[in-house]
Amino acid sequence: MDNSILRRRRTELVGGATVLLALAVLPLPIGDVYTQNLIIITILFAGLAQAWNILGGYCGQISLGHALYFGFGAYVSTLLFVRLGIPPAFGMLAGGAVGGAGALLVGWPCFRLSGHYYAIATVVVGEIGWLLFLNWDYVGGATGVYVPFKGDSWVALQFRTAKLPYHYLVLGFAAATWIAAFLIEGSRWGFAWRAVKDDFVAARSLGVRIFPSKMAAAAISGFFTGMGGAIYAQYVGYIDPDSVMAGALSILIPLPAVLGGVGTLWGPLIGAAVLIPVSELSRSYLGGSGRGVDLMIYGALIMVVALVRPQGLVSLFGRRRGGADARAA
């Protein structure tokens, strides 16, 4: 039996493999560190946005406090390394686990809140986390924590001599999030969430049960976000509440998904590919003077895309899904 669903899935898989391959060879001819760094950050945020997308885009729970899980992952992995000597290759998983647990804890009471109330609750929870970590000496407080360098190694996820290994690390991370989104999209949950978004009453009458799947979405999203935090910690070598838990990061994480197209497979990637270089470049060239031009460009970009292409940039590349464009027309 062949149908449009299977065809689309096949195309997506082929596309995904192609993009993965392309990104794998992309850094090889590039020599300058600045560009390499830019690519790494872009891919990292593509993965983070995709992780957010699972909860916020597919499942429809717009979390504006995701930096909390990112920070959990960064701190757990780093502190395990610093205090117990546990290498970040494992710490990364622990960080993910704590991130996922955090998301479950937040989701369980908060999922009953609707739209705006939920968003604000996530903001508040994120702020609490940031404030607590800022004032908690055990985790370094405002001073932060330095990641000790113990030599290049994949177990310790540290490489001082080259950026290339980091590139493949984040690429693997982003690929994992993409695969998770791909699997969810075609799963019972993916269908359930779309049905609920389209017509809540009809979905209910067909027996669609929402709460357990929301919790699962939260756990998966939180897990990958935490993992991303751990990877970031290893990449940058230093963490503090402002860099891994702040509200600004909570806004940055979903932004590529929003720009690119929430609830789509490619949206977060396209969004990151546009947003991160634009914001990084404008910050480097224009923001250094502290004159805020980069913020203006950033803000304007968000407004323009949100208004002009609410379906996200991904809709520029052809039909999203049967009926979606027709409904938006």
Partner 1 sequence: MPALLEVDGVSKSFGGVAANVDISFDVAEGEMLGLIGPNGAGKTSLFNAIAGEVTPDAGEIRLNGTRISGLGPVACAAHGIARTFQVVRSFDSMTVLENVMVGAFARARGAREAMTVAADTLEFCGLLSRADRPAISLSPPEKRRLEVARALATGPRLLLLDEMLTGLTPTEAQEGVALVRAVQRRGITIIMVEHVMEVVLPLVSRAVVLNLGRVLTIGPPADIVRHADVIRAYLGDKYAPAA
Partner 2 sequence: MTLDIILQAAIGGLLMGLIYALVAAGLSLIFGLMDVVNFAHGELMMIAMYAAFVLWQVSGLDPLLLLPIVVVLMFGLGMGVYRGLIARALSVRFNRGMVQIFVTFGLAIFIRGAAQFCFGGEFRSITTGVVANRTAEIAGVFLPLPQVAASLVCLAAFAGLLLISRTEFGHALEATREDRDAVALIGIDRDRIFALGWGLGAAAVGIAGVMLATFYYVSPNVGANFAITAYVTVALGGFGSLGGALVAGLLIGEVEALTALVLEPSLKQVGMFVIYLAVVLFRPRGLFGTL
Q: Measure Cα distances from 147 to 53, 71, 78, 81, 144 in Å.
A: 29, 14, 6, 8, 10
Are 225 and 99 within 8 A, CB to CB? yes
Nearer to partner 2, 152 or 198 (CB): 198
Q: Is 319 in the site for partner 2 (CB under 8 A)?
A: no
Instruction: Please identify, among the stretches 70-78, 92-100, 121-129, 236-244, the one whose residues bind partner 2 according to the rule CB under 8 A.
Output: 121-129
Give the one entry of partner 2, partner 1, none that residue 296 binds, where binding means its C-beta sits below a cut-off of 5 to 8 angstroms depending on kind: partner 2
Give the one entry of partner 1, partner 2, none that residue 110 binds, where binding means its C-beta sits below a cut-off of 5 to 8 angstroms depending on kind: partner 2
φ, ψ for residue 278 (rounded to 5)? -60, -45
Q: Measure Cα distances from 33 to 26, 164, 311 in Å.
A: 14, 10, 35
CA 157 to chain centre: 20
Q: Strand, coil or helix: what is 188?
A: helix
Nearer to partner 1, 196 or 259 (CB): 196
Are 230 and 96 within 8 A, CB to CB? yes
Contacts of residue 256, defined as CB under 8 A and 6 or more positions apart, other chains included, come to: 45, 46, 49, 267, 268, 269, 270, 271, 272, 274, 275, 276
Nearer to partner 1, 3 or 161 (CB): 3
Nearest-approach distance from CB 46 to partner 2, in angstroms: 18
Give the one entry of partner 1, partner 2, none that residue 209 binds, where binding means its C-beta sits below a cut-off of 5 to 8 angstroms depending on kind: partner 1
Q: Measure Cα distances from 304 to 117, 133, 294, 313, 315 in Å.
A: 25, 35, 15, 11, 15
Amino acid type, 226: G
Name the burial class of residue 272, with classes exposed (0-12), middle (13-18) and buried (19+) by CB atoms within 10 angstroms of its CB: buried
Nearest-approach distance from CB 122 to partner 2, in angstroms: 11
Nearest-approach distance from CB 255 to partner 1, in angstroms: 23
Nearest-approach distance from CB 99 to partner 2, in angstroms: 20
Candidate residues 123, 176, 195, 208; the one interacting with partner 2 per rule CB under 8 A? 123
DSSP-derived secondary structure letter, 313: G
Q: Is 316 in the site for partner 2 (CB under 8 A)?
A: no
Q: Is 281 in the site for partner 2 (CB under 8 A)?
A: no
Q: Is 132 in the site for partner 2 (CB under 8 A)?
A: yes
Q: Which residues bind partner 1 (CB under 8 A)?
A: 1, 3-6, 186-188, 191-192, 194-195, 197-199, 201-209, 321-324, 326-327
Which residues are near partner 2 by CB under 8 A?
62, 64, 109-110, 112-117, 119-121, 123-125, 127-128, 131-132, 134-135, 247, 251, 255, 258, 262, 290-304, 306-307, 310-311, 327-328
